[in-house]
Amino acid sequence: MGVPSLAERSTHQKKAVQILLQQIDKSFGDKTVLKNLNLEIESGEFVVIVGKSGSGKSTLLRLVAGLEEPTSGQITFNDQSIKDSKLSATMMYQDSRLLPWKTVINNVGLGLKGDWKEKAEKTLDLVGLYSFKDQWPSTLSGGQQQRVALARALVHKPSLLLLDEPLSALDALTRMDMQNLIEKLWLNQGFTALLVTHDVREAVKLADRIILIEDGDITLNIKNTVKRPRDFSDVMLAQMEKKI
């Protein structure tokens, strides 16, 4: 049994989200970061964004999350504005941003009401850290802390998961474990994913589509044709590396 295809997966998906960015400009003062950027993201898609440092990748994620307003242009979710849509987006960063004075379970449960404990426990189980729930974040490894951060993002059952270089501070083996975990959760949970990375292997492993940002715009938009689980050759990786 292989993992389900995107088409199979989307048939039992709960929340539909389609994100449309139209003619987005974003400036800070007189510095233009994004210029007339257009992008469409399908419900359930895994989109990976690559580009040089300072090219505007984090800004793009923050715009999609609604943490930042475009200078001009429109972002819509299923034809509605961010504010009117029921879209929920959660974010994960390079550093875990866990609160050191709260235990693991209290970090994951932050902002939840009602049966928060049960939800937090279930989600910690999903990332393989149930038995660490009463520990302090500082007693966990970097990889484990990122797993907690992933649980904290997923506990809200987001329709969209935004991942801003979440694995770049981890060692190679831990990074591979986390890539497998993210892929498995994406296949099972039905969220749309938007990931920023500098790692070509990671991009090719996870992406349905890889997008390159250069000079404030998308200059490459490549569909990943390799089936899941990805079985890619070094030749393919080398070709991709040249492109991005």
49 vs 239: CA distance, rounded Å? 17
With CB under 5 A as the contact rule, the residue among 58, 123, 146, 159 that binds Mg ion is 58
Nearer to ligand ADP, 30 or 134 (CB): 30
Three-state DSSP class for 233? Answer: coil
237 vs 234: CA distance, rounded Å? 5
- 186 CA to centre of own chain: 10
Nearer to Mg ion, 58 or 146 (CB): 58
Find which of Mg ion, ligand ADP, none residue 54 binds, CB within 5 to 8 Å per kind.
Answer: ligand ADP
Q: Determine contact, residues 62/211, Cβ cutoff 8 Å.
A: no
Least spacing, CB of residue 55 vs Mg ion, in Å:
9
Q: Which of 72, 17, 67 is nearest to 45 (CA)?
A: 17
Residue 107, C-beta contacts closer than 8 angstroms, at least 6 positions apart: 98, 99, 137, 148, 152
Cis status, amide bond into 137, omega within 30 of 0: no
Least spacing, CB of residue 218 vs ligand ADP, in Å:
13
- Single-letter amino acid code for the residue at 135: Q
With CB under 6 A as the contact rule, the residue among 24, 39, 45, 57 that binds ligand ADP is 57
Rule CB under 6 A: say whether 39 interacts with ligand ADP: no
With CB under 6 A as the contact rule, the residue among 43, 55, 123, 192 that binds ligand ADP is 55
In DSSP terms, which residues pair with 170 in a beta bridge? none
- Single-letter amino acid code for the residue at 116: W
Nearer to ligand ADP, 187 or 218 (CB): 218
With CB under 6 A as the contact rule, the residue among 11, 30, 53, 138 that binds ligand ADP is 53
Please choose, out of 49-57, 127-135, 183-191, 227-235, the segment that lies near ligand ADP by the rule CB under 6 A: 49-57
- CB burial of 187-210 (b: ≥16 within 10 Å; e: otherwise) equals bebbbbbbbbbebbbbbbbbbbbb
Least spacing, CB of residue 213 vs ligand ADP, in Å:
7
Rule CB under 6 A: say whether 225 interacts with ligand ADP: no
Kindly list the residues in this chain that would bind ligand ADP in the complex (CB under 6 A): 28, 33, 51, 53-59
Kindly list the residues in this chain that would bind Mg ion in the complex (CB under 5 A): 57-58
